[in-house]
Chains A and B, each alone.
Chain A
Amino acid sequence: MKQFLSFVKKEFYHILRDKQTFFILLFMPLIQILIFGFALTNEVKNANFIVLDNASDAASHELIAQISASRYFSFAKNIYSYKDIEQVFQTDQAKVALIFPPSFASDLEHFNKAQVQIIADAADPNTATTLTSYMSAIIRDYQKALTQNKDLPYTIEVTQRMLYNPQLKGAYNFVPGVMAMVLMLVCTMMTAITIVREKERGTMEVMLVSPVQPLKVIIAKAVPYLLLSIVNIISILLLSVFVLDVPIKGSLLLLMAEGTLYIITCLSFGLLISNLTNSQEEAMFISLMAMFLPTVMLSGFMFPIENMPLPLRILSNIVPAKWFFTIIKSVMIKGLGLKFIWKETLILLGMTLLLLALSLKKFKIRLA
């Protein structure tokens, strides 16, 4: 045990001695949470729109004013020919075009019926759909206001409530996601690289001939990163509560326990990578390519998993971040207890054991 502790101490010295790295490890997650908490939002705001107003009458002006006033759109400019739209889209000056027919107001007045056309730049399909539906909603509101004084029979009224996140803040979705991502990066990449570095420099051999069991050598390497990551979780949580206003609804203890479990999963993943590679470059590229993009894309926090084709839906199940993301969302934002997330917890636990078993089996006491 004493030997083990001295190995742990050695690892701490390694980390603390390299001030630059230590600083990055401690502050990178914080800066990321802040940037992403504030800046990453799927919601579309202030999208530029252009107007081809063939009518230029009271009604069209009124409608344009209403659209400009909403927080989703800002008026870019008037155009005077249909052909200009393409030019504007190509240079990215606007995302949507609104087109009025020549007799918009008089159609409304005399026939109670008029038409408008919305053209969206669908190079980004997501924004295009969102903008089209936002703009249609504003036009429908305008139309409703016109008919307000007429009481219609047989009306179904809908009341709706937004659960968990009534202000519809992006941070509610991103904080758990970024947490899953950052922890995975710090733990997996750091363990993998530091172990491979010892291999590369030959100091691993020195440690393996010491009287300490090889297993303990490896565990000693992981302990400092475990502690560092727990500090990271705490600081991320503090930031999200006090700066981003994302509350912790569930039990803090449960949250920390699940966080620790996830950290251990990531550490074992790092161990496995370190066993499979021989140079820092390789270790880094594997952790980067096999982790970073899949974690971003398959964990469900960026893209909805239910939209993916079946093979990917199956594949997403082996991404630990997916399970952790669900757990954090449930505990932190929905305020649920262990009763609701025992399945996810068991899966993470199983993954950890599997990864540990695999990396121990692959672990070579002798270096080539």
Chain B
Amino acid sequence: MLRFLLQKEFRQVFRNPAVLRIIFVMPMVQLLVLPWAADYEVKNIKLAIVDNDHSDYSRQFISKVTSSGYFQLQQYSMSYNTALQEVEKDKADIIVQIPTHFEKDLVKESKASLFMAVNAINGVKAVLGASYLQAIVQDYNNEIREQWIQMPRFSPQTVIEITSSNWFNPFMEYKYFMVPGILVLLVTMVGSFLTALNIVKEKEVGTIEQINVTPVKKYHFILGKLIPFWVLGLAILTMGLLIAFIAYGIQPAGSFLTIYAFAAVYLLAVLGLGLLISTYCNTQLQAILILFFLIMIFILLGGLYTPIESMPVWAQWITKLNPVTYFIKVMREVVLKGSNLADIAPNIGIIFIFAVVLNTWAVVNYRKRG
């Protein structure tokens, strides 16, 4: 019995080349294009400088800032107000104002001041940009001190030297971080939408009635729907991993077996979600909207775009109920850190519970009568 249902489902999938093309080609294009966009690193900060001093010191300072690599000198402004206009037009991120007598004050009074104004709409960028600039000022300050005073052998100023290193991704390559994550999103979207739409479509078109009058059992019907999409989902994952390797040279530090073991269970959960939603909806439009709503929350609260630790407690609870969170975490751990099956076992357990709950709920809720 199941065999014929499977045959039917596979035929239906392959008969519709437009949808097939979309579900394979679109994710691949996205995987090739989007990781290039995902670079959070704060660099290329645009500066507007108001130099009221025009001294050697102010020029030295400016060239020190611009040669640091983090900043781009956008323009020399005549006054603070013209600089502010640049910020308003989004042409500059930080204004640095060097007061008149900067050099004179520094040399004669032994103390000078600088002013900076930071566009803080994006708070993180503002804080990091300002602290980079502060560090440069500090450096420059030390250089000047060295010019003017003979440093004693032991530094009079207490110094704590900080060395830092970055593990697992020493070159701070964002693609290693984003590609596995985006792949997870694509598998999730395709998996859940395909199942939900497929079943609701049968409802909408009316063919589900025909199946309902046959002796096909509930679980046969549901298995017949799940298996083809489960296979499709794994196929997309495989293609995605291939692309990650060919285009980005990303080779999992852990084993492929671990990834597939998790993905196999994960897909069951995602398909179960699609199934569950399809039992509650009568039109494709309803199904799309509900799924969209859920998927958007899943994706944005999945820990790919913003760190989960910084969310408020209630939102962290939502992330615990979000299957995407676990897959992204697992992908990251396996691909970047080389975790093995034992390391991620608790995650597989949780996802397995998701799969069981969602699918049981769906089967219970699926009625053969329309």
Chain A residues packing against B (C-beta within 8 Å): 18, 20-21, 24-25, 28, 31-32, 35-36, 38-48, 85-86, 89-92, 95, 108, 111-130, 132-133, 136-137, 139-140, 142-143, 146-147, 150, 152-166, 168-170, 172-173, 185, 189, 193-194, 197, 277-282, 284-286, 288-290, 292-294, 296-298, 302-304, 306-309, 312, 315-316, 326, 329-330, 333-334, 336, 340
Q: A157-B112, A160-B115, A286-B26 are in contact. List 8 more A-B contacts (CB 8 A).
A: A126-B174, A129-B41, A156-B106, A173-B122, A185-B296, A281-B197, A284-B288, A334-B88
Task: Return chain B residues, CB-CB under 8 Å to A44.
Answer: 307, 309-310
Bound form: Cα–Cα A278–B18 in Å: 9
In the complex the two chains form, is A157's CB within 8 Å of B114's CB?
yes
Q: Would you give the shortest CB distance from B233 to chain A, in whole angstroms?
A: 15
Q: Would you give the shortest CB distance from A100 to chain B, in whole angstroms?
A: 10
Q: Is B215 an interface position by the 8 A CB rule?
A: no
Task: Return chain B residues, CB-CB under 8 Å to A36.
Answer: 300
Task: Return chain A residues, CB-CB under 8 Å to B156.
Answer: 112, 150
In the complex the two chains form, is B155's CB within 8 Å of A112's CB?
yes
Task: Return chain B residues, CB-CB under 8 Å to A130.
Answer: 124, 128
With beta carbons under 8 angstroms apart, the residue of A127, A136, A142 that contacts B307 is A127
Q: Would you give the shortest CB distance from B157 to chain A, in whole angstroms?
A: 5
Q: Would you give the shortest CB distance from A157 to chain B, in whole angstroms?
A: 5
B46, B113, B173 pick with most chain A CB within 10 angstroms? B113
Bound form: Cα–Cα A59–B259 in Å: 45
A112, A126, A155, A168 pick with most chain B CB within 10 angstroms? A126
19 contacts between A and B (CB under 8 A): A24-B286, A35-B300, A39-B318, A44-B310, A47-B307, A115-B162, A116-B162, A129-B41, A156-B114, A159-B114, A163-B118, A165-B121, A197-B283, A279-B18, A281-B284, A286-B26, A294-B34, A297-B38, A340-B88
Task: Return chain B residues, CB-CB under 8 Å to A40.
Answer: 300-301, 305-306, 311
- A89-B167, A162-B126, A307-B41 are contacts. A123–B289 as well, Cβ < 8 Å? no
In the complex the two chains form, is A286's CB within 8 Å of B22's CB?
yes
Task: Return chain B residues, CB-CB under 8 Å to A39.
Answer: 301, 311-312, 315, 318
In the complex the two chains form, is B168's CB within 8 Å of A280's CB?
no
Bound form: Cα–Cα A41–B165 in Å: 25
Closest to A127 in B: B307
In the complex the two chains form, is B297's CB within 8 Å of A24's CB?
no
With beta carbons under 8 angstroms apart, the residue of B34, B281, B336 that contacts A297 is B34
In the complex the two chains form, is A157's CB within 8 Å of B113's CB?
yes
In the complex the two chains form, is B289's CB within 8 Å of A48's CB?
no
With beta carbons under 8 angstroms apart, the residue of A47, A90, A108 that contacts B333 is A90
Q: Would you give the shortest CB distance from A155 to chain B, in whole angstroms?
A: 5
In the complex the two chains form, is A122's CB within 8 Å of B306's CB?
no
In the complex the two chains form, is B106's CB within 8 Å of A154's CB?
yes
Bound form: Cα–Cα A114–B17 in Å: 67
Q: Would you give the shortest CB distance from A358 to chain B, in whole angstroms?
A: 20
Q: Would you give the shortest CB distance from B226 to chain A, in whole angstroms?
A: 18
Task: Return chain A residues, CB-CB under 8 Å to B27.
Answer: 289
In the complex the two chains form, is B201's CB within 8 Å of A281's CB?
yes
Task: Return chain A residues, CB-CB under 8 Å to B46.
Answer: 306
Q: Is B4 an interface position by the 8 A CB rule?
A: no
Closest to B198 in A: A281
In the complex the two chains form, is B305's CB within 8 Å of A302's CB?
yes
Closest to A136 in B: B162
Closest to B155 in A: A112
Bound form: Cα–Cα A31–B288 in Å: 17
In the complex the two chains form, is B158's CB within 8 Å of A108's CB?
yes
Q: Would you give the shortest CB distance from B170 to chain A, in whole angstroms?
A: 7
Closest to B205 in A: A200
- A154-B106, A304-B125 are contacts. A122–B168 as well, Cβ < 8 Å? yes
Closest to A286 in B: B22
Task: Return chain B residues, CB-CB under 8 Å to A293.
Answer: 30, 34, 182, 185
In the complex the two chains form, is A193's CB within 8 Å of B288's CB?
yes
Q: Would you give the shortest CB distance from B313 to chain A, in whole angstroms?
A: 10
In the complex the two chains form, is B123's CB within 8 Å of A173's CB?
yes
Closest to B147 in A: A154
With beta carbons under 8 angstroms apart, the residue of B88, B130, B145, B174 that contacts A125 is B174
With beta carbons under 8 angstroms apart, the residue of A32, A47, A169, A278 that contacts B296 is A32
Q: Is B44 an interface position by the 8 A CB rule?
A: yes
Comparing B133-141, B244-252, B262-270, B352-360, the segment that makes contact with chain A is B133-141
- A25-B289, A132-B164, A146-B158 are contacts. A162–B19 as well, Cβ < 8 Å? no
Bound form: Cα–Cα A129–B115 in Å: 25
Bound form: Cα–Cα A143–B119 in Å: 29
Interface positions, chain B 40-78, Cβ under 8 Å from A, are 40-44, 46
With beta carbons under 8 angstroms apart, the residue of B116, B148, B185 that contacts A160 is B116
Task: Return chain B residues, CB-CB under 8 Å to A142.
Answer: 160
Closest to A104 in B: B160
Task: Return chain B residues, CB-CB under 8 Å to A284.
Answer: 193, 197, 284, 288
User: Closest 6 CB pairs between A and B?
Assistant: A168-B123, A39-B315, A122-B166, A162-B120, A289-B26, A122-B169
Q: Would you give the shortest CB distance from A190 to chain B, in whole angstroms?
A: 8
Q: Would you give the shortest CB distance from A39 to chain B, in whole angstroms?
A: 4
Task: Return chain A residues, CB-CB under 8 Å to B336.
Answer: 123
Task: Return chain A residues, CB-CB under 8 Å to B341.
Answer: none
Q: Is B223 an interface position by the 8 A CB rule?
A: no
Bound form: Cα–Cα A146–B174 in Å: 37
- A108-B158, A121-B168, A162-B126 are contacts. A154–B289 as well, Cβ < 8 Å? no
In the complex the two chains form, is A285's CB within 8 Å of B26's CB?
yes
With beta carbons under 8 angstroms apart, the residue of A140, A193, A326 that contacts B90 is A326
With beta carbons under 8 angstroms apart, the residue of B37, B127, B159, B296 that contacts A113 is B159
Bound form: Cα–Cα A253–B110 in Å: 53
In the complex the two chains form, is A282's CB within 8 Å of B19's CB?
yes
Q: Would you give the shortest CB distance from A43 to chain B, in whole angstroms?
A: 5
In the complex the two chains form, is B40's CB within 8 Å of A42's CB?
yes
Bound form: Cα–Cα A197–B286 in Å: 12
Task: Return chain A residues, CB-CB under 8 Å to B292.
Answer: 28, 185, 189, 288
Q: Is B209 an interface position by the 8 A CB rule?
A: no
In the complex the two chains form, is A115's CB within 8 Å of B141's CB?
no
Q: Is B212 an interface position by the 8 A CB rule?
A: no
Q: Would you give the shortest CB distance from B285 to chain A, in whole angstroms?
A: 6
- A20-B286, A35-B297, A165-B123 are contacts. A307–B169 as well, Cβ < 8 Å? no
In the complex the two chains form, is A160's CB within 8 Å of B26's CB?
no
Q: Would you give the shortest CB distance from A96 to chain B, in whole angstroms?
A: 9
